[in-house]
Amino acid sequence: MANNGQTDVAVLVAMLSERAAVNVRLALVADVQQWQLHHGQVTLDDDTPVAERFWRYSTVSFLELSLPGATVAALLRGDEQDIHGLHVVAPGPPASSASTSRLRGQQEWARVATPWPRTEWTINRDANTPQPDHGVLVGDGPSFLNFDQALSAFLHQRPHDSNAGRSDLWRIVLPQRAGWLSQITIGPDLLKAVVDGEALDGAVLELSGAADNQLQPVDGAGIYRFPLLNGLAHDSLLMLRREDQWLDWRSFPAPAYGRARDASVVWERSGPELDLLLANGEGQHLECKREVPEGDSRKKMLKTIAAFASQDGGTVLIGVQDDLQIVGLPERPNVDKQVLAVVGMIRDNLEPMPPYETRVIDHDGKKILAVEVSGGGQMYAYRNQHRPEFPEFYVRVGPNTVPARHHEIATGFRQAPAVITF
């Protein structure tokens, strides 16, 4: 199966029709005497029983339940259906094809990650479909300020963000548990992979890089070890496969501090992780500082943090020179005070508060402070204390932080989940 492509909807209708029951989550919008489908999520998983939920409001309803596969297939085909006492219709003419994505284990897409690989099919909603009312929701279910918050809570049990307003009408998920990598532990001279799965006959585990390749037959679930004579190369690929079909895989480029981490990859010591991060030098997602800046030099670091947060994240490493030499934090003041100084700078000068974490990394007896900034889905401003009425916005262009252009600022605010008032 190709990793990405298109699937005829008739194929999905046939696949659903063959199943006695499927788990579904439906978001419905009131439309005269009927309910129009806003988003449907189908999970083709016989191993996980559904926990039924029903949230009912005057203008929208949310349902999670098990339905006959034929009922969901009919709705996907565009036929009206009666579901849990509601007459449900699909908006517009049925689509002819669905986008297809095959995802490895722990790969997050549309706010969802699973330990095992999966195939997902999505069908986009017509752009002209009426949107639900965004007023306060009070009814037979938790109360919400608006539909987007309710949808995010119902689908993900997570707060609303700019990605929660889904553009797809249907999302169909097929878990693939033949084999997967449940955990990878990386040390200076050894990689350990924990393999799990339901059909591992004939599988092999391969660790490959530009200068080396190691293969091991997989004789069942368990731990498999690969010696790393020269450490882990930054272009390494760990592949669980059967013949020419992959079951699961992980790659190890320079770690992207500040963005979503793969929960299945554990670095036994921070040294290899830091070495890989520095392998590509300063760039779009990495800035190095010899020490915690003071005085006017603080602005350069702060505007870089604002740029990371305004885009897709990045890391500032303090204790590393521009030439990537690791010098470590100075002994005085102590590390805790240096961390607090950075936290205070961010709190006092950036608005709104960007999503970030601080982490102290031990490397060969030296301590490095990593300020890991996540992409926040909106624009973040540097507030010059001498001119607080003029917020400044920045973006990252390669290894440089530059003032954001007007269209970049406008785009950032259009994507923001809430209006920011300065």
- pLDDT for 160 equals 66
- Nearest partner of 102 among 83, 118, 124, judged by Cα: 118
Looking only at the bridges linking them, the beta strands covering 168-175 and 204-208 are: unpaired
Three-point CA angle 236, 315, 379, nearest 5°: 125
For residue 257, pLDDT over 60 is answered with: no
Q: For the residues 120-126, what does the mean pLDDT come to?
A: 89
For residue 104, pLDDT over 50 is answered with: yes
Give the list of residues 6+ apart from residue 315 with CB closer than 8 angstroms, or none: 257, 258, 277, 285, 286, 287, 308, 370, 371, 372, 373
Fold of 180-252: Immunoglobulin-like (2.60.40)
pLDDT band at 164 (very low <50, low <70, confident <90, very high): very low
- Asked if 371 and 288 touch (Cβ cutoff 8 Å), the reply is no
- pLDDT for 245 equals 94
For residue 415, pLDDT over 70 is answered with: no
pLDDT band at 253 (very low <50, low <70, confident <90, very high): low
- The percent of residues in the chain predicted with pLDDT above 70, rounded, is 90
How is residue 295 annotated by DSSP? G
Residue carrying the six token digits 């990394």: 361
- Nearest partner of 187 among 240, 238, 239, 225, judged by Cα: 225
Reported as half-sphere exposure (CB side, CA atoms, 13 A), residue 4 has a value of 0
Where in the chain is CATH 2.60.40?
A: 180-252
Lowest mean pLDDT among 154-168, 220-234, 237-251: 154-168
Lowest mean pLDDT among 258-262, 268-272, 364-368: 258-262
Fold of 279-415: 3.30.950
pLDDT digits (tens, 9 = 90+) for 2-20: 568 999 999 999 999 999 9
- Over the chain, what is the mean pLDDT? 86
For residue 163, pLDDT over 50 is answered with: no
**How far is the C-alpha of 120 from the C-alpha of 97, rounded, in Å?**
13
Tokens of 318: 């303090």
How long a stretch of residues is the chain? 422
Q: Report which listed range, 46-50, 276-280, 305-309, is most confident.
A: 305-309
- pLDDT for 249 equals 96
Where in the chain is CATH 3.30.950.30?
A: 279-415
How is residue 48 annotated by DSSP? S
